[in-house]
Structure 1
Amino acid sequence: MCFILDVEICQKPESALSNEEIRAMVENIILLVPKIHINEIYNNTSSWWDDMMIRHVYSITCSCDDLEKETVYMKDCSGVRTFVYRLTDEEAGTETMQCDSEELPVASHWILPCREFEGLWENLCYSPGVKENLYNFVETSMMFSDKNVNPNIISWNKVVLLHGPPGTGKTSLCKALAQKATIRLSKRFNRGELIEINSHSLFSKWFSESGKLVMKLFSEIKRLLEDPQAFICVLIDEVESLAHARKSSMNGTEPSDSIRVVNALLTQLDQIKSYKNVLILTTSNITEAIDLAFVDRADIKQYIGNPIENTIWLIYLTCLRELMRVGIIKSIDDQKLREQLNSNSLISLSCGLSGRALRKIPFLTQALHIKTNSEYDPKDFIDAMKKVVINYKKDELDGK
């Protein structure tokens, strides 16, 4: 079965080659590689890298439109799409806003793509199609905007709402999506920016000031949107803080300050959706607390729940590979690692744990059960992980 291979090329900051030269160099080499592992991050330790690639390329990540494939054979490849990008090493900046005599930290600001989020998309594990559907939404939103589709005929608001229990990686997925979209849309925009709104700072101690702060913050975001070459992603974590259901906020006939905040937020969302270079990413742990008018504005509402068995297996597999990479456990081939991971009831026992909890298990295993600094046997490590999971779930039950 033929497929299109998407190749993301992270160019070294010191490289003086153009994007086209990097693209041509990698395409000429990768088409000769017998097989490619999907979503694996390749670097200069790969046998097929030549000296030229080592000098100019930091890493390569490949994906394809067949979600079930883990490995593809290049003889079946019908074409290659390449995306060249460079990472920024800048840390997040803090955006402040004056409120009376106070300086409020109202947002964090990243320039994308940034090193902090490199590899995040590939290492987040969800049910098949979740990440792909979210990216397809972003791509379609940008395409409709570029083609000037009439919003009075076909409606879209460029708003994503991820909801589900705590610890399932909703915020991380939003950040990874912003980074991925910036890389994939690099031919359309020359950079991306991620603005994470600090919802709690926008509630002023002075009555009626919160709504004004929301409008003032979005005025700054609109200023950024004036640059058509910048792809601006706005992340509102725990959006119920700003979009609290107005029906529950009524106090007699006088609207509360929270109602003013919701009204201001909805007004600003309606205004900025006309910009072609904006994406609004939101998360919530308690969707029933969100105002229905906001929920209705979300184009895609994706539930992110606790991992199912296949996803748990994949999370543990990536964790164990990482421990092998750094020499904490002995390196074995992928097939043997998979067999050992399937050899006990660790996966089924782990059902019900959040993704955040699952990624703690290897650390707790090392801390509580491994008494040596030398490389540990993977099978013994996996057996120790099982004990940690049993105790972890017991502690959770005791705490309820």
Structure 2
Amino acid sequence: MFTVEIIQKNASTESKDELIKNCQQFLHKYEGISPGKVLSDFNDFDYLTNNVLSIILDEKIKISDIESGCHNLRWVVYRLDGFGPQEDVLQDSDEVLTLSTNWILPSADLHCLWENLIYENEIKQNLLKFAETTLLFSANKIDQNIISSNRMVLLHGPPGTGKTSLCRAFAHKVAARLRDRYTNAQLIEINSHSLFSKWFSESGKLVTKMFAHIRDVSEDVNSLVFVLIDEVESLAHARTQALSGTEPSDSIRVVNAVLTQIDQMCKYNNVFILTTSNMTEAIDLAFVNRADIKQFIALPSAHAIYQVYYTCLQELLRVGIISPRDVILPHTALLLVETHPNTDSAVLLEISHLSVGLSGRTLRKIPFLAQALFLNKNKSSLREFLEAMRLAVLKHIEDTNSIESK
């Protein structure tokens, strides 16, 4: 089953059936459809221009299914919440603590984030399969004492590899695809550092209070709830260090509180717990064992970097900062790129190899730095921009080495 998402404009009053019918007509005539594509320019199709923000095609969709109107397609229609993140605060003694940051899903802030996160392996697809299986087992009332699942994910790896963004994007994507099943959804991103009160003895109580709020929200069976704990090692620090005297005893109470609260959340079939860590060796083993999926997120390879740079260049070509609109081959044609040296695509692949070792966060900055530091005009040719990107990569590597050598 493949999904086509239709994001309806908030001002539109059209019915779901009408939107699907018109999107089908548009896609049957549209040229250049590809899996994972986000369509937002509907040319002269006024109905879609007036009512649809964008159409998102499944990353595994078969073009033949769209052309034939195959019943393997699932059409999802939803609107985006535009209010952005809201803070949940608590007055603690003489200071205000931000316990969590909350999004109503699907959120305009997270729109297309999933599509712009690039990984070479099946990480994203496996997460979606995890969500589908979890909900399938819940719907069929599988006995948790026989087949257990905590509905918990742990993403770990070096900083800047997109772990937090992937958690947010996953929550947004699942909430969007299940819009017909759950009338509302939200992402609760716990502020781990705020839960460590300056009064050590209060930290465990703050954790309990935070999860009590989450349980209250989860009581509504029509709500889908995602709980994100970023840098989870700060809340679930290995208790062996505390027992050896290198950590305050209050950290043991915090870890015990976190584990207890997570165990209590298992009875809610509408809750997913998403966690990230840069230092898995610092996480309590009991917490790690509770995660159903423990996925390592590595620094991107040269081919993944090529795809990141490709999407950046396409955006610059779209707005005209790179002009004229020269052709650069997508990552799906890398084999062709490798056999055709001296082309712009081959230059981009060379820059991608040069960029191996940089984080995804850094890669997205390289085009900006290229424009800011090495180009003194508002429009450049593709080859000029590529040479500026090469210089930006070399400068970043030099600057990083300079800092690390001190």
Residues 236-288 of structure 1: CA deviation (Å, up to 9, x unaligned): 00000000000111156x97101100000000000011111101010000000
Correspondence for 1:61? 56
- 1:164–1:77 Cα change, 3 Å: farther
Correspondence for 2:232? 239
Correspondence for 1:296? 289
**Correspondence for 2:10 among 7, 13, 31:** 13
Listed as ranges, the matches of 1:305-320 within 5 Å are 305-320=298-313
Correspondence for 2:128? 135
Correspondence for 1:50? 45
Deviation at 1:103? 2.5
RMSD of aligned alpha carbons: 2.1
Correspondence for 1:148? 141
Structure 1 Cα separation of the partners of residues 373 and 17 of structure 2: 51
**Correspondence for 1:366 among 352, 361, 371:** 371
Contact 1:325 1:331 in 2 (8 A): no
Residues 107-163 of structure 1: CA deviation (Å, up to 9, x unaligned): 001101111111111111111311111111112112211211111000110101000
Contact 1:33 1:74 in 2 (8 A): no
Residues 141-188 of structure 1: CA deviation (Å, up to 9, x unaligned): 122112111110001101010000001111111110000000111121
Structure 2 Cα separation of the partners of residues 301 and 331 of structure 1: 45
Residues 203-235 of structure 1: CA deviation (Å, up to 9, x unaligned): 112132100100001000111001111111000
Contact 1:34 1:74 in 2 (8 A): no
Listed as ranges, the matches of 1:206-221 within 5 Å are 206-221=199-214
Deviation at 1:18? 2.3
Contact 2:27 2:67 in 1 (8 A): no
Provide structure 2 residue ranges, at least 5 long, that are not aligned to the other structure: 331-336, 338-342
Deviates more, 1:74-83 or 1:146-155: 74-83
Deviates more, 1:185-194 or 1:292-301: 185-194
Residues 317-338 of structure 1: CA deviation (Å, up to 9, x unaligned): 0000111122211142544687
**Correspondence for 2:360 among 355, 359, 373:** 355
Correspondence for 1:275? 268
Deviation at 1:5? 4.3
Correspondence for 2:333? none
- 1:35–1:6 Cα change, 3 Å: farther
Residues 308-359 of structure 1: CA deviation (Å, up to 9, x unaligned): 1110000000000111122211142544687513236211111111111111
Which letter maps to 2:265?
I
Q: What SS does the corresponding residue of 2:376 show, helix, strand or coil?
A: coil
Contact 1:38 1:72 in 2 (8 A): no
Deviation at 1:34? 5.0
Contact 1:37 1:72 in 2 (8 A): no
Listed as ranges, the matches of 1:1-400 within 5 Å are 5-33=2-30, 35-43=32-40, 45-47=41-43, 50-65=45-60, 74-75=66-67, 78-79=70-71, 80-250=73-243, 256-335=249-328, 339-343=343-347, 345-373=350-378, 375-400=379-404
Contact 1:36 1:73 in 2 (8 A): no
Percent sequence identity over aligned pairs: 47
Residues 54-74 of structure 1: CA deviation (Å, up to 9, x unaligned): 2211110112436xx8x7684
Provide structure 1 residue ranges, at least 5 long, that are not aligned to the other structure: none
Which letter maps to 1:386?
R
Deviation at 1:78? 3.5
- 1:270–1:167 Cα change, 3 Å: same
Q: What SS does the corresponding residue of 2:168 show, helix, strand or coil?
A: helix
- 1:206–1:54 Cα change, 3 Å: same
Residues 35-64 of structure 1: CA deviation (Å, up to 9, x unaligned): 512222212x334x6222222111101124
Which letter maps to 2:42?
S
Structure 1 Cα separation of the partners of residues 98 and 329 of structure 2: 50
Deviation at 1:77? 6.5
Corresponding residue pairs, total: 391
User: What TM-score results when the alignment is normalised by the length of structure 1?
Assistant: 0.92
Deviates more, 1:266-275 or 1:326-335: 326-335
Contact 2:42 2:49 in 1 (8 A): no
Structure 2 Cα separation of the partners of residues 19 and 147 of structure 1: 28
User: What TM-score results when the alignment is normalised by the length of structure 2?
Assistant: 0.91
